[in-house]
A and B are shown apart, each in its own frame.
Chain A
């Protein structure tokens, strides 16, 4: 069932000439594997704001969704800290305008609740030509590549490998020694196991970035997600 849903997203992307999945598509897949994400809605018109407004918690975030814009923030395609309906309408208009100015097709605008700040982690996957799929964990956020506080494990992995994966990073040290807070690493490992099953069931994925992932004491939440697949 969840494999079929994945294939549906995959085929849609292929038909549109994409080798990557949109954030909302990636998050839909994560949800099917029980990996918590921020709440999100894809709206295709200003009118659709009416439909979601009752359920929506403010503040929220709005992001351009377009096959031509993988790196949304580089073109100003992300609006943060939206408080209330009026601001949301304004944000929608702004993003539609940016899409038009940059001459990129707009699939829709992704509205997401702004999650409570947690410790920022990255969970990644890459398919290596020699070793196959490799899972990565470490310090996330915008300075991920500057810190390079990450560790890797070649799949398949067991629970112990995933605990080692966390232990091998400085972030692991932080999670174990935060004063006044107790981070449940079992929950983090359970979620890493879900990411592993997602990859094992969908080996078409050749790259995946969950960044940032907010880590809370007894939960995690994927804030941004992207997946890239192999085009045959």
Chain B
């Protein structure tokens, strides 16, 4: 399968002109109902057909007994029939010239026994034809630009994020859904989501390659539990290619899984599968996040901010404590907090409130006003040896007015990354949201902000090392 035809097939999967839902249903609560209903009532602009031999009309639409009866060529078939019927349905799809199929149905390899055999037979059928397949046992595709949405969870239980530039591919459908819901709550935009399940045909490497070319995707998030045997090198290659264009953040589930290999060597005893994954991630040029919160904090920084030119960070705060904790967190992430030059220190001393600390971290004191922030940010963001800024804003002190928000956007104009830390309660949270709506990541703890800055620096390092 050539590169171009893979990309064409995947384009048909995310951006189809015509879709058939095989196993569409008129019974609310059924997966075939939710998907069909979402497609005809949602933002999706393509033509949608229902296929189900047991009924003539679903949600007011003519329903066809088989894909072979649909009066038009179909780009994408979404298969939601019982596992036993999938083989037959897929063969009809091939006959009808369907370009790509997403098999939502479960009860294949993941259940073993008969399911495993079913999947093997399916694989043979796919290998002999030109059709490309995502799944089975997956939640399929969520595309915020084409409006294609296969997520079959009730809207009352899950929010959908606004269009944006983060894309996620996930071995687990639930992890993808949870993450999309979370991003929706945080008002951070998403381009695409794919749950690829048992990856009978299209695997994570194919999807990463596709997302590397996708214009809407600026950050790729990957949740994997494990790759298939002998697929490691393909994964590394796809990531190295994609990482040149955009950052990839990976969370690996199942790190502590005991190695079941019978080994006689020290090497074998220490090369648990996770240590090999860790090494492979490094070589692949991906940033590994420890958990989904880290992935979230990294993604936020990478999608909103430019890359820094180096590892030097300046910290500006109106509370000494938060500033110091930010420095601790940044340094433990391998970032550097340089001392300011004398001229800068003198300038700060002359312009900041009495008692302010003019070293790095800068402590503006609780008497700081928005104007003090403006002076400090303008001076420091222009220093050529400062590559990123962390601004801590504690609104508990009454002297600080909201004008300060306008001033923190200034560093952005200089092309330097800036993130904020706002620790506190309800008011703080609301302000934090306003800051993010203006394109500056806002974190609730110094450690989380350091994770964001680390991701920016780490990706700039990776990008440089891959060239």
Contact = CB atoms under 8 A, between A and B. Distances in A.
B267 interface: yes
Interface in A142-166: 144-145, 148, 150-154, 161, 164
A198 to B, nearest CB: 14
A134 B259 CA distance: 15
Contact of B279 (A151, A208, A226): A151
A221 B448 CA distance: 46
B268 to A, nearest CB: 5
Nearest to A151: B279
B228 A209 contact: no
A70 interface: yes
A120 interface: no
Interface string A149-187: 011111000000100100000000000000000000000
Interface in A124-140: 124-126, 128-132, 134, 136
B266 A154 contact: no
B283 A128 contact: no
Contacts of B227: 130
B283 A154 contact: yes
B233 interface: yes
Contacts of A131: 232-233, 236, 276, 280
Contact of B268 (A70, A126, A148, A151): A126
Contacts of A161: 283
B271 interface: yes
Given A126-B271, A152-B276, A228 B283 contact: no
Contacts of B91: none
Majority SS at the chain A contact face: strand
B278 interface: yes
A152 B275 contact: yes
A164 B283 CA distance: 10
Contacts of A124: 265-268, 270-271
Contact of A130 (B230, B278, B283): B230
Given A126-B271, A130-B231, A132-B233, A152 B278 contact: yes
Contact of B265 (A128, A134, A209): A209
B226 A130 contact: yes
A128 B275 CA distance: 11
A82 B234 CA distance: 52
A211 B266 CA distance: 9
Nearest to B279: A152
A220 B264 CA distance: 24
B215 interface: no
A207 interface: yes
B265 A154 contact: no
B461 to A, nearest CB: 12
A144 B276 CA distance: 17
Interface residues of A, number: 29
Interface in B227-267: 227-233, 236, 263-267
Contact of A122 (B266, B275, B278): B266
Interface in B364-391: none
A26 to B, nearest CB: 11
A24 interface: no
Given A130-B276, A134-B271, A152-B279, A209 B232 contact: no
A144 B229 contact: no
Contact of A207 (B228, B265, B273): B265
B229 A130 contact: yes
Contacts of A125: 267
Contacts of A214: none
- Which among A132, A145, A154, A161 has the highest number of chain B CB atoms within 10 Å? A154
B455 to A, nearest CB: 20
Given A130-B226, A130-B231, A145 B283 contact: no
A20 interface: yes
Interface in B255-309: 263-271, 273, 275-276, 278-280, 282-283
Given A131-B276, A132-B233, A152-B276, A20 B226 contact: no
B279 A126 contact: no
Contacts of B233: 131-132, 154
Contacts of B270: 124, 136, 144-145, 148, 150
A136 B271 contact: yes
A132 B232 CA distance: 8
B264 A134 contact: no
A151 B273 CA distance: 13
B264 A226 contact: yes
Given A126-B271, A130-B230, A226 B265 contact: yes
13 contacts: A126-B271, A128-B271, A129-B229, A130-B229, A130-B232, A136-B271, A144-B266, A144-B270, A150-B270, A154-B236, A164-B282, A209-B266, A226-B264
Q: Which 9 A-B pairs have the closest CB atoms?
A: A124-B267, A131-B232, A152-B279, A209-B265, A130-B232, A126-B271, A207-B265, A144-B266, A128-B276
Given A131-B280, A132-B232, 15 more contacts: A124-B270, A124-B271, A125-B267, A126-B268, A126-B276, A128-B273, A130-B226, A130-B228, A130-B232, A130-B276, A136-B267, A148-B270, A152-B279, A153-B283, A154-B283
Interface of B: 226-233, 236, 263-271, 273, 275-276, 278-280, 282-283
